[in-house]
Structure 1
């Protein structure tokens, strides 16, 4: 598309002295960011990076990752951020999977024969190649529910459409400040960068690993959270001071417990929830936060239909396909629909996600969807989180057992049966309730059903 420029150059032209990035290394205006991206583009060219190159970057969210993504866009290269939590052996497998020719490592480590790139400053800026919306610019790993993560390839147009659609529901402007609380190796973190730069808002880079430490050191107006993080924020002794600057929180990860929403309602903060995925460049629907599992209305640039109970998506934000050692697998039907494996239904114009089709199990001949039960449990005022697991039973095959946690005295079986009676059929009500195991250590933002089950061990079995 003629006249298409990268977000750093666009920001320099539209917002000039407004602050684009703030972090441990100080602040950069949009004009300064444009200059830094130009310098890095020159540096990468001198180290052999060219159009079509795949550049992997290992490290937490940082200014370096932002600059690398923007420089790759200018060059026509493909940026692949990888989690530093992966062991070296797995990182080397992933580098082969994505055909990485170049590597930047936050610790300067060399992996798989790739020398970590130098990002020194002080070179003349380079404007790069003419840009196209169709050019591939990123490879983001999926969560790997199938046992091995897949690398989803996105075009520049995918990311720009994602940002534009999000801004239709969440207006941003210079002066707004969004904390990059989601890592850039997750689609939500990368999408946030595009969203802020497109609108002239400030992307606030984390100074610490812990969310609350970051909020204590800098004021932000916008924040992305999952329910667990919201609980941490509300439980903090200085919660009122931490939340005072906030205008909006975007909540993900499924239904939000009623107990958390009630506590959040005491603060003058707009709370939204969303449904999104890597394959659609982040957000698909967005709407007011609720405990009913409603994920809001469809954002511009996306299409969604429910076919035989399964959510299918396509549109301007739909990814190019899964990249694997030189091949691009495009798992779309003849009309371009991507089958998500998420079950869903419409409630008016709002989407309700019922859960993963592959989480469903059969109990006494009846289909049981764990996420439906979890959404009902989270409506109880004393429950902050709940996970339902299938447990073997000689009579029914499998029965649902709930693992719950909360701040107050948790309800007993009899009370929960009364609470759930008007919400769930008898066969869906948990046959046992277990408190959250102290042994379980959550890795990342999502609770692992397998990890939780392993931590419970013999306690999970029915009497």
Structure 2
């Protein structure tokens, strides 16, 4: 039987303490009034979760446009929590850690999973290098790619880790290959109530069998005439979710992600996918960077690289891994990139800085 969103599992713990529905409301008020900023965000979400509305207002990240608020049904969040719990065997009493901000869907869902599935949840202040208690073992934790990169050497304290919110580079994948921790890359968005597909990154026997993303039970995928992903997840959303993510579909439950439709660069008639180029260059440039374009009278769009920091000389041999059309025509430097509310690079706003 699927639990109702108004229920708090009797095995649920927050920071080692059991809380009933009423107790949790008091804790939420306490966090809002007296907690650190990340605890205030937790308190705000708990108050939203425990109120009499059947939905939660959730911020989108603003990665490709203006951030907006969506109304996500609480029961859809419960269904998502159960799907994740079933896939990763998150049974009551399992210990989980949240180092993600509670004002975005990924962090909210860590909390909902604990409340609904009866997990023991610890919270730490979100940062690119979360200060996690290395003396305690956890069954499950979610990271951003940067967090996973910085925490990889300590992964032995975790049984399972998921990573989302951005593409996982080959460099980060290499860091987790020798770890016993089961590490999965996730794919999802606010509209789909966190992840709807996963891809295992390590602990393979023989050849990797999970080269592509595999959807969670109850989720199917297709693509539209732009080659963009279309998601059907009736337990999570009433309507199909049409994305701007360019994909290759292998079956109704498996796909590979190529890049964002918003970011595709057409240079001299050639379609170039910035995210794919960036993947090839990860680990070869220590600074933050991304691939973009500027208007060119001859090419239409001129492929460029933008690097965060002071200008220096790049060893052009790093481009040997690229196809000839993927090599940037120009390299630009900016002291600081523009960012979205969730801390991702805001490509459009950063490119606008080059024109000033």
TM-score above 0.5: yes
SS in 2 for 1:244: helix
Q: Does 1:69 align with 2:48?
A: yes
SS in 1 for 2:328: coil
Structure 2 residue aligned with 1:439 = 336
- Distance in 1 between the 2:133 and 2:193 partners? 30
- Distance in 2 between the 1:205 and 1:33 partners? 18
Q: After the TM superposition, which of the residue ranges 338-347 and 137-146 deviates more from structure 2?
A: 137-146
SS in 2 for 1:266: coil
Is the CA contact (8 Å cut-off) linking 2:245 and 2:259 kept in structure 1? yes
Residue 173 of structure 1: how far off its partner (Å): 2.9
Structure 2 residue aligned with 1:60 = 38
Q: Does 1:358 align with 2:276?
A: no
Is the CA contact (8 Å cut-off) linking 1:294 and 1:350 kept in structure 2? no
SS in 1 for 2:294: strand
- Distance in 2 between the 1:382 and 1:166 partners? 35
Is the CA contact (8 Å cut-off) linking 1:169 and 1:286 kept in structure 2? no
Structure 1 residue aligned with 2:21 = 34
- Distance in 1 between the 2:43 and 2:162 partners? 25
- Distance in 2 between the 1:253 and 1:279 partners? 14
Identify if the C-alpha distance between structure 1 residues 449 and 403 changes in structure 2 by more than 3 Å, giving closer, same or farther: same
Structure 2 residue aligned with 1:388 = 291
- Distance in 2 between the 1:252 and 1:5 partners? 25
Is the CA contact (8 Å cut-off) linking 1:142 and 1:152 kept in structure 2? yes
Is the CA contact (8 Å cut-off) linking 2:4 and 2:78 kept in structure 1? no
- Distance in 2 between the 1:2 and 1:260 partners? 37
Structure 1 residue aligned with 2:60 = 142
Identify if the C-alpha distance between structure 1 residues 359 and 3 changes in structure 2 by more than 3 Å, giving closer, same or farther: closer
- Distance in 2 between the 1:262 and 1:2 partners? 39
Q: Does 1:449 align with 2:351?
A: no
SS in 1 for 2:295: strand
- Distance in 2 between the 1:438 and 1:429 partners? 23
Identify if the C-alpha distance between structure 1 residues 402 and 294 changes in structure 2 by more than 3 Å, giving closer, same or farther: farther
- Distance in 2 between the 1:387 and 1:149 partners? 21
Structure 2 residue aligned with 1:284 = 196
- Distance in 2 between the 1:168 and 1:433 partners? 47
Is the CA contact (8 Å cut-off) linking 1:252 and 1:273 kept in structure 2? yes
Could you tell me which runs of 5 or more consecutive residues in structure 2 were left unpaired when the two chains were aligned.
30-36, 203-207
How large is the RMSD of aligned CA atoms in angstroms? 3.6
Residue 34 of structure 1: how far off its partner (Å): 2.8
TM-score by length of 2: 0.79
Residue 400 of structure 1: how far off its partner (Å): 1.5
Structure 1 residue aligned with 2:181 = 269
Structure 2 residue aligned with 1:80 = none
Could you tell me which runs of 5 or more consecutive residues in structure 1 were left unpaired when the two chains were aligned.
44-58, 78-135, 235-239, 321-335, 459-463
Is the CA contact (8 Å cut-off) linking 1:153 and 1:319 kept in structure 2? no
SS in 1 for 2:199: strand
- Distance in 1 between the 2:222 and 2:303 partners? 30
Per-residue displacement from partner, 1:168-221 (whole Å, max 9, x unpaired)?
332213443332222222111111112222222222122x35354531487352
Is the CA contact (8 Å cut-off) linking 2:62 and 2:68 kept in structure 1? yes
Q: After the TM superposition, which of the residue ranges 191-200 and 275-284 deviates more from structure 2?
A: 191-200
Structure 1 residue aligned with 2:13 = 20
For residues 340-355 of structure 1, the aligned pairs below 5 Å read: 340-347=243-250, 350-355=254-259
- Distance in 1 between the 2:268 and 2:128 partners? 44
Larger radius of gyration: 1
Identify if the C-alpha distance between structure 1 residues 446 and 2 changes in structure 2 by more than 3 Å, giving closer, same or farther: closer
- Distance in 2 between the 1:416 and 1:5 partners? 51
- Distance in 2 between the 1:2 and 1:198 partners? 10
Residue 5 of structure 1: how far off its partner (Å): 6.0
Identify if the C-alpha distance between structure 1 residues 185 and 261 changes in structure 2 by more than 3 Å, giving closer, same or farther: same
Structure 2 residue aligned with 1:197 = 115
- Distance in 1 between the 2:108 and 2:237 partners? 14
Residue 452 of structure 1: how far off its partner (Å): 3.9
Residue 266 of structure 1: how far off its partner (Å): 3.3
Identify if the C-alpha distance between structure 1 residues 391 and 226 changes in structure 2 by more than 3 Å, giving closer, same or farther: same
- Distance in 2 between the 1:3 and 1:366 partners? 51
Is the CA contact (8 Å cut-off) linking 1:20 and 1:202 kept in structure 2? yes
Is the CA contact (8 Å cut-off) linking 2:149 and 2:175 kept in structure 1? no
